[in-house]
Structure 1
């Protein structure tokens, strides 16, 4: 199998995830602006998740360009990442419906934490396909975002029961860190 086939499958799954999330929105009862106020928590949780899925899609795209050989282990790690991301619509809906109650917010953080670990495992397997001195391995070895994000997710999970606003701050912080793609990765991919 070529990496582009795995990427196409992943793109399809991520598109379905976004579609499922947006289908959670129901038309409000009223016909004026105040009728939308009740949807604010759902909209905020949707925005969080849409941005996260977009970030994963963008970084996953760059990462798969570095694949030299697709094997069973790589496919399973890719599926593990997609599994955790496929739970994002559920946790997004629950968090929005509950108006960011502690348990749904903590579960949202746990799912993001597990997705981050899965992404790191996938990245490590792809790195093993390259020599230790390759620009890709050197760049990925210095990728502080991959190392910092799980810690921030863990803090978000642990603070959900203190105040969910603190958790949301850490969700936003991770998204901001990842929002702009790493130019070093684009340089490595472009030079390939």
Structure 2
């Protein structure tokens, strides 16, 4: 598989997913600030999901920038990761429409975990296929504890105050951005 074609296709899919999400945003019913503020949860869900997509686009670039070999396994794992990515606009829209409902939030959280895990599997395979390449996404015990601890907390809140789960995911994003931005960019 040609690396540049895989990266170009991935970039296009990421751009399409982000575009679909923004198309789900609708203008408020009125022209007062209160009309805009009454829809804060819709905008917040978009912001959290957009930055998660952006974070993974950046991470994908860092994973593939020094890879020489793109195996069939990487091609297939990238496809699985992209499939999960294409579900992000759907779940984001669902939690935007039903911010106080448990099932949409649980679905959103499960998708996020599957998407993150599929990226780690993809990253690991790229590193396995390119043993001389530095792993730009080390998975430390501290990161795993923080990530899964926050998501466990988000799952609990999803049953009582679902919108708080989205706030927790937003905080996880901020923490992840701090770590990812410390990675050398090429």
Same fold (TM over 0.5): yes
Q: Aligned partners of 1:156, 1:25: CA distance in 2, in Å?
A: 24
1:147 matched to 2:144:
yes
Q: Aligned partners of 1:145, 1:79: CA distance in 2, in Å?
A: 29
Structure 1 unmatched ranges of 5 or more: none
Stretches (4+) displaced over 6 A: none
Q: Aligned partners of 1:67, 1:51: CA distance in 2, in Å?
A: 25
Q: 2:166 aligns with which of 156, 165, 168?
A: 168
Structure 2 unmatched ranges of 5 or more: none
Say if 1:32 and 1:162 are closer, same or farther in 2 by CA, change over 3 A: closer
Task: State the number of aligned residues.
Answer: 184
Aligned-residue offset at 1:178: 1.5
- Could you tell me the TM-score, scaled by structure 2's length? 0.87
1:156 matched to 2:148:
no
> 1:144-170 CA deviation, whole Å, 9 max, x = no partner?
576343453344234311332542343
RMSD (Å) for aligned C-alpha atoms: 2.3
Instruction: Within 5 Å, give how 1:79-94 maps onto structure 2.
Output: 79-94=79-94
SS in 1 for 2:134: helix
Say if 1:166 and 1:41 are closer, same or farther in 2 by CA, change over 3 A: closer
- Residues 20 and 89 of structure 1 are in contact (CA less than 8 Å); yes or no, is this contact kept in structure 2? yes
1:109 matched to 2:109:
yes
1:53 matched to 2:53:
yes
- Could you tell me the TM-score, scaled by structure 1's length? 0.84
Q: Aligned partners of 1:169, 1:33: CA distance in 2, in Å?
A: 22
- Residues 99 and 162 of structure 2 are in contact (CA less than 8 Å); yes or no, is this contact kept in structure 1? no
Aligned-residue offset at 1:107: 1.0
Aligned match of 2:9: 9
Q: Aligned partners of 2:142, 2:12: CA distance in 1, in Å?
A: 26
